[in-house]
Chains A and B, each alone.
Chain A
């Protein structure tokens, strides 16, 4: 048996949900049972690691023997004995469980910076971070660079904020640095309220020290001695790892007084958010930290001039901050060499929807949409047709198939009526109804509006009402124009980014899929067969075997038929729940 065995168990939230804790415990147990007690610590270490993106395949386990790594997928605790016996003791990998080519395609096409160490190192051990050159960025800044030089370096890198708006980070810092004040603050925005987004959570769960280091670099650059991480309380694992990392960083002298023997003092507090999407907006977030109702206020003044407790404040997104240690360590030129002409570096996306490889990905800015969807994402599930991809979450828009070659960066996404947002990417196929999709996003923004300003408070409600009536077949001929009027006026008059961008899904779906709206309104038909009120369920006689499954499933008693004879659905009784469609094994119930 080799002397150099390393086992990494994926323990992001996805990994833990799939049974990561049990798998880890099973390894400990099996190794001890096999009489390798001494070796567990010395020669055969089991590590927890953060999410590596391919959550659909969890629990993922790496077994490295003499640095030859084998990755296993879908591992459960009861599979561990065989892994220990055959691979660790016997030296022969268990081929049946090893990941396939698609796993490698998923990873090989990516360009990992922020996620490079996520899933590779133990996020609960500062030594693991130090072993991959962690904290060398802040040490370099402190020992070799003035704050102004740090700002120059970040400016030269071309890094733009990853929290949505894409504002150049170095410039933001420069504004803040220029404001004289007895106190300044750095805030890490880890609110991440978009439905389906888990980029920032994965970074904190997988490599919390990188975020702490990024905040320290920002603090040094602007002259702040205090920082806050505003993180949603629904992220217990991230919060726990963050707290662990903070105390380790303090113990190692990376936080606290006179850091690295300089006059730089810096420490970080954690503030839990109660889960309001709008509290991700920077001024609302600041109000929330101050103990007030989380509502945005007008800018100017910007936080860089008047932020937390009225003091100059830099507020940056988790991913923005996690890029900084690399920029400082590897240099601005290196970072600027990644990405497109106007957008530098990489971007992390949460790839979800009707795509084969659901997960967390990191790609260079400017990568064609097509590569993300087909090469990394593995294409659309089943043999269905790609319809659109929604980027930017509820604030973004739908990009249709004609823009499939679009290079994905800040500028190009805006050009086609969507936006980067924080990096949600939902893939839609022919079975998705675009009116329904825009209704889905409006439901979210409408219920998350803070209510401060009129157009967002009432306007999003009215948009949703009109969308709802269209999906129910009660749309009026004038509704598309009404939606457009409302959407444009809400965009122009809302106070904060939530209201300004809430109409985007409506505008972009009308722009690219107007015919679907028209079908709902004029023909009372949902082309994707999604909007229940517009569907008719019928049994195709010659396919029906008369098994009676549908009859038993129907809650409305709308189905009649004798055993082994074709059944019949009475549309006047049908409540359109779709139960018959779901249960029929012979696909003889159709909806249209």
Chain B
């Protein structure tokens, strides 16, 4: 364990802990933009600077490992000034169109501007202009709003192991883009959207569907597969407009493209709401009650089994069911029906 002092308070943390993590254990609030505990430290935004006794320049808390006897200061007039300058630099190259931005009310940059009282800007100057719209079906990429925290690049490489995007160009013109600046063509897991601290990356499906203040959050489990990722449904006036996932869940906030973007069917009028039965040969599928449907299934099972034996029946289960459901399913077939004809869609 390493002993150090942060803002006058003693703390003991395991070797390899960063100053930022140690400070957070003490509930100290150090602003960050490029840090994500699930990704490797980056040190790009420079907001998390702190002072170390005996070190002439401030250092970034997110990249600096603790050392024995370290004396850290996380708040000072100079630090406030420097952080404010950094945010002011970012805002001097930002569209500042929060009134029409999807992320308004849920944007780290906006929040920082608010807390640091940045209405005017000493540095107004040239802004990056990226007019081309990315025609991919899922992710709206407004790179003028990008603050180059590279979280998207890192999540795509480090977590998703896809590497569909990276930084291109240098300096002021540095830009996150797919190879050759083509339209994004990737897995569309949307992890990049989930980590983006600004309005640079948003989902096309939830564009202009509702303001943050009107959103109701419902915690639930993704129905797509047996993994059971925790998801949060965002709904406005009883309509689901977006799916997200919290970091402190078993899936650490990561989702796949289906879980994240495949929810629109919920609002579709033609989606299945009751069982359907075809009552006559070549006739239409007609709505029925669950009692009627289940009754029909059990009587047909009984009939087939009696006439042709249990092996005339087989069960095909789904990857969307949980382990427990699949277990009950095969048990039913083996013991109640009496056949080993059991299979699963995930085999193919």
Produce 1/0 per residue, A422-452, CB < 8 A to B: 0000000000000000000000001111111
**Contacting pair A492 B58 (CB below 8 A):** yes
Cα–Cα distance between A332 and B123 once the two chains are bound (Å) = 52
Residues 467 to 516 of chain A near chain B (Cβ within 8 Å): 482, 485-486, 489, 492-495, 500
In the complex, the answer to whether B43 meets A297 with C-beta atoms within 8 Å is yes
A276 touches B (CB below 8 Å)? yes
Majority secondary structure of chain B interface residues (helix, strand, loop or mixed): loop
- Chain B residue total in the interface (Cβ 8 A): 37
Return B82 CB to nearest CB of chain A, in Å.
5
A462-B89, A462-B92, A486-B123 known; A451 vs B148 contact (CB < 8 Å): yes
Interface assignment of A396: CB less than 8 Å from any CB of chain B: no
- Contact status A453-B43, CB under 8 Å: yes
Residues of A near B170 (CB, < 8 A) are 276, 278, 447-451
Q: Once the chains bind, are A458 and B174 in contact (CB under 8 Å)?
A: no
In the complex with contacts A293-B166, A465-B126, A459-B89 CB distance below 8 A: yes
Q: Which of B93, B150, B172 contacts A449 (CB 8 A)?
A: B172
Provide the residues of chain B in CB contact with A455, threshold 8 Å: 46, 85-86, 89
Q: Which of A295, A447, A457, A486 has the most CB of B within 10 A?
A: A457
Q: Does B14 contact A (CB under 8 A)?
A: no
Residues 525-565 of A at the B interface (beta carbon under 8 Å):
none
Using an 8 Å CB-CB cutoff, how does the interface string of B272-298 with A read, 1 for contact, 0 for none?
000000000000000000000000000
0 or 1 for each of B134-173: is its CB under 8 Å from A? (1 = yes): 0000000000000110100000000000000011011111
Task: Judge if B68 is at the interface, Cβ distance under 8 Å.
Answer: no
Residue numbers in A under 8 Å from B57 (CB-CB): 492, 500
* Bound CA–CA A451/B126 (angstroms): 16
Q: C-beta contact mask, B18-57 vs A, less than 8 Å → 1, else 0?
A: 0000000000000000000000010111100100000001
B238 to chain A, nearest CB (A): 42
Whether the Cβ atoms of A448 and B171 lie closer than 8 Å is yes
Residue of B45, B46, B147 with highest tally of chain A CB at under 10 A: B46
Cβ-based interface call for A146 (8 A): no
Write the A283-309 contact mask toward B (1 if CB under 8 angstroms, else 0): 000000000010101101000000000
- Cβ contacts under 8 Å, B58 to chain A: 492-493
Interface size of A in residues (CB-CB distance below 8 Å): 34
CB distance from B289 to the nearest CB of A (A): 61
Please name the residue on chain A nearest to B62 by beta carbon: A298
Docked pose: A492 CA to B59 CA in angstroms = 9
B9 sits at the interface (CB 8 A): no
A418 contacts B by Cβ under 8 Å: no
Q: B237 contacts which chain A residues (CB < 8 A)? A: none
Q: Residue A390 at the B interface, CB < 8 A?
A: no
Q: Is B317 an interface residue (CB 8 A)?
A: no
Q: How far is the CA of A248 from the CA of B170 in the complex (A)?
A: 39
> How far apart are B290's CB and chain A's nearest CB, in angstroms?
57
Please determine whether B46 and A449 come into contact, CB atoms closer than 8 angstroms. no
Residue pair B93, A453 in contact (C-beta under 8 Å): no
Task: Out of B45, B81, B122, B126, name the residue touching A454 (CB < 8 Å).
Answer: B45
Q: Does B245 contact A (CB under 8 A)?
A: no
From A278, A450, A453, residue with most partner B Cβ within 10 Å: A453
The verdict on A461 contacting chain B, using a C-beta distance below 8 Å, is yes
Tell whether, in the assembled complex, residue A458 and residue B92 are in contact, meaning their CB atoms are under 8 Å apart.
Answer: yes
Binary A-proximity of B62-104 (CB < 8 A = 1, otherwise 0) = 0111000000000000100110011001101100000000000
Residues of chain A within 8 A of B269, CB atoms compared: none
Minimum distance in angstroms from B108 CB to a CB of chain A: 13
Task: State whether the Cβ of B60 lies closer than 8 Å to any Cβ in chain A.
Answer: yes
* A460 proximal to B (CB < 8 A): yes
CA distance A39 to B59 in the complex (A): 67
A119 to B318, CA, bound (A): 79
Residue of B nearest to A500 (CB): B57
Q: What residue of chain A has the Cβ atom nearest to residue B43's Cβ?
A: A298
Q: Which residues of B contact A457 (CB under 8 A)?
A: 148, 171-172, 174
In the assembled complex, the Cα of A451 lies from the Cα of B170 at a distance in Å of 5
Using known A-B contacts A462-B89, A489-B85, A495-B43, determine if residue A298 contacts B63 with beta carbons closer than 8 Å.
yes
- Docked pose: A489 CA to B92 CA in angstroms: 15
Given contacts A453-B46, A459-B89, list 14 more A-B pairs with CB under 8 A.
Answer: A295-B167, A298-B63, A447-B170, A449-B171, A453-B44, A454-B45, A457-B171, A458-B92, A460-B171, A462-B92, A492-B82, A493-B49, A493-B85, A495-B60
| 17 A–B contacts from the bound complex (CB under 8 Å) | A293-B166, A293-B167, A297-B43, A300-B65, A446-B172, A455-B46, A455-B85, A459-B89, A461-B125, A461-B126, A461-B171, A462-B92, A465-B126, A486-B85, A489-B82, A493-B46, A495-B43
Please name the 3 residue pairs, one residue from A and one from B, whose CB atoms are nearest each other, closest first: A451-B174, A449-B171, A298-B63
